């Protein structure tokens, strides 16, 4: 499921997915255990109500606000939550983003779990937006990676898309990505003989998985580009190549595509109608523009999901 293309209804459904519910249940269990909030149970009357406003204390992109209502629902309660900013909204510091009202004990139990998730998701969306802004006007798009917190992948990839990025494969199950370890372990291949191991790996995957599976392959030298394209790769990953080398790869790819036979022609072989180039490795906010200007279509970075600082959100409550 690509968060980038989600409708409003699909976004709402995201927060009820089984893996999201399981993540929330685990977070609540480590906070409440079997006894619950002993402070609130002792000091807060069972009939008390609270109203609250969630505010962005820093400028950024919000993501995950529906989690407040979802956490409450999984606790068996009902908070009245009004989103003041949709996922993907850019907000200034001091902007109210969510209004809450309901049972005081419930709101106090929900607060930290929901805030922990929402702040980190908003941090991912905010950092992604910084990358996206820096490459505006180029043909490149920013893609995420599998470098997500365990159990949070669906939410983090949604947050990445909320920041304007695009989703790479969800996991090992939905797209082929051939890397050096796969080549080293590929049976029946002698690295001592002439030949192109990445291209052979692409051929084997295409033969086994058919025409509809997306196949991406990493190459270490531009000399391998033509062979993996002819073998049927959809995406070619160029890891740790500087922008000047990437420009050469783009030019080579364009020449190969321009000289290819028409789609459907037997002479074309396994060459796909579209072959994208992806840059990765060492991508930062300081250099991403140079990578984008090389002409590649894809730039992948794990920073927004593994290292982005949380967006500062503050929930202020008052008795109602």
**Stretch among 149-158, 183-192, 291-300 having the lowest mean pLDDT:** 183-192
Q: How confident is the model at residue 11 (pLDDT cuts 50, 70, 90)?
A: low
> What is the enclosing helix (H) or strand (E) of 299?
strand 298-300
> What is the enclosing helix (H) or strand (E) of 236?
strand 235-239
Is domain 3-134+308-319 annotated with CATH 3.40.50.300?
no
User: Helix 104-134 and helix 153-162: axis angle, to 10°?
Assistant: 50
- The catalytically annotated residue of 87, 144, 216, 218 is 218
- The catalytically annotated residue of 31, 83, 224, 239 is 239
With a cut of 70, say whether residue 136 has pLDDT above it.
yes
Q: How confident is the model at residue 3 (pLDDT cuts 50, 70, 90)?
A: very low
% of residues, the chain, pLDDT over 90: 88
Say what the pLDDT of residue 267 is: 65
With a cut of 60, say whether residue 6 has pLDDT above it.
no
Q: For residue range 176-186, what is the model confidence (pLDDT) as tens digits?
A: 999 999 999 99
Domain 141-306, CATH: 3.20.20.70
53, 99 contact by CB (below 8 A)? yes
By CB neighbour count within 10 A (0-12 exposed, 13-18 middle, 19+ buried), where does 272 fall?
buried
Q: How confident is the model at residue 27 (pLDDT cuts 50, 70, 90)?
A: very high
- The catalytically annotated residue of 99, 147, 204, 247 is 147
To the query of whether residue 147 is one of the catalytic residues in this protein, the response is: yes
- The catalytically annotated residue of 48, 99, 112, 289 is 112
What would the two tokens of residue 270 be? 């396994």
Is the pLDDT higher at 265 or at 206?
A: 206
Q: What is the DSSP string of 144-172?
A: --S---TT-HHHHHHHHHHTT-B---SST
Average pLDDT of the chain to the nearest whole number = 93
With a cut of 80, say whether residue 105 has pLDDT above it.
yes
Domains of the chain, by residue range, sit at: 3-134+308-319, 141-306
- The catalytically annotated residue of 179, 245, 247, 268 is 179
163, 126 contact by CB (below 8 A)? yes
Average pLDDT of the residues in 261-290:
88
To the query of whether residue 244 is one of the catalytic residues in this protein, the response is: no
Q: How confident is the model at residue 266 (pLDDT cuts 50, 70, 90)?
A: low
Instruction: Please choose, from the candidates 94, 95, 97, the residue with its C-alpha nearest in 3D space to the C-alpha of residue 85.
Output: 97
Say what the pLDDT of residue 270 is: 87
pTM (two decimals) = 0.92
Average pLDDT of the residues in 170-180:
96
For 24-52, the three-class secondary structure string (H helix, E strand, C coil) is: HHHHHHHHHCCCCCHHHHHHCCCCCEEEE
178 Cβ contact partners less than 8 Å away, ≥ 6 residues apart: 198, 201, 202, 205, 215, 216, 217, 218
To the query of whether residue 112 is one of the catalytic residues in this protein, the response is: yes
Average pLDDT of the residues in 57-64:
98
With a cut of 70, say whether residue 315 has pLDDT above it.
yes
With a cut of 60, say whether residue 104 has pLDDT above it.
yes
Say what the pLDDT of residue 193 is: 66
Q: For residue range 93-103, what is the model confidence (pLDDT) as tens digits?
A: 999 999 999 99
Q: How confident is the model at residue 78 (pLDDT cuts 50, 70, 90)?
A: confident
């Amino acid at each position: 499921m690509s968060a980038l293309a989600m409708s409003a209804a699909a976004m709402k459904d995201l927060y009820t997915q089984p893996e999201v519910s399981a993540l929330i249940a685990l977070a609540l269990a480590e906070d409440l255990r079997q006894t619950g909030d002993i402070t609130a149970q002792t000091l807060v009357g069972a009939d008390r109500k609270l109203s609250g406003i969630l505010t962005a204390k820093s400028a950024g992109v919000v993501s995950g606000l529906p989690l407040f209502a979802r956490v409450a629902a999984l606790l068996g309660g009902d908070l009245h939550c009004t989103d003041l900013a949709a996922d993907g909204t850019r907000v200034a510091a001091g902007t109210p983003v969510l209004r809450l009202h309901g049972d005081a004990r419930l709101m106090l139990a929900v607060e930290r779990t929901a805030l922990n998730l929402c702040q980190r998701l908003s941090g991912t969306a905010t950092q992604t937006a910084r990358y996206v802004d820096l490459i505006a006007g180029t043909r490149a798009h920013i893609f995420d990676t599998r470098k997500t917190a365990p159990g949070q992948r669906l939410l983090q990839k949604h947050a990445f898309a909320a920041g304007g990025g695009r989703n790479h494969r969800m996991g090992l199950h939905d797209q082929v990505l051939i890397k050096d370890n796969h080549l080293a372990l590929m049976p029946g291949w002698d690295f001592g003989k002439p030949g192109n191991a990445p291209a052979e790996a692409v051929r084997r995957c295409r033969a086994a998985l058919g025409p509809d599976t997306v196949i991406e392959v990493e190459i270490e030298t531009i000399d391998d580009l033509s062979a993996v394209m002819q073998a049927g790769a959809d995406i070619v990953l160029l890891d740790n190549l500087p922008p000047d080398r990437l420009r050469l790869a783009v030019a080579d790819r364009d020449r190969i595509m321009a000289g290819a036979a028409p789609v459907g022609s037997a002479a074309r072989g396994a060459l796909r109608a579209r072959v994208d180039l992806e840059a990765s490795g060492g991508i930062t906010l300081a250099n991403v523009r140079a990578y984008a200007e090389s002409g590649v279509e894809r730039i992948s970075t794990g920073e927004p999901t593994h290292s982005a600082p949380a967006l500062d959100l503050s929930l202020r409550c008052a008795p109602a």
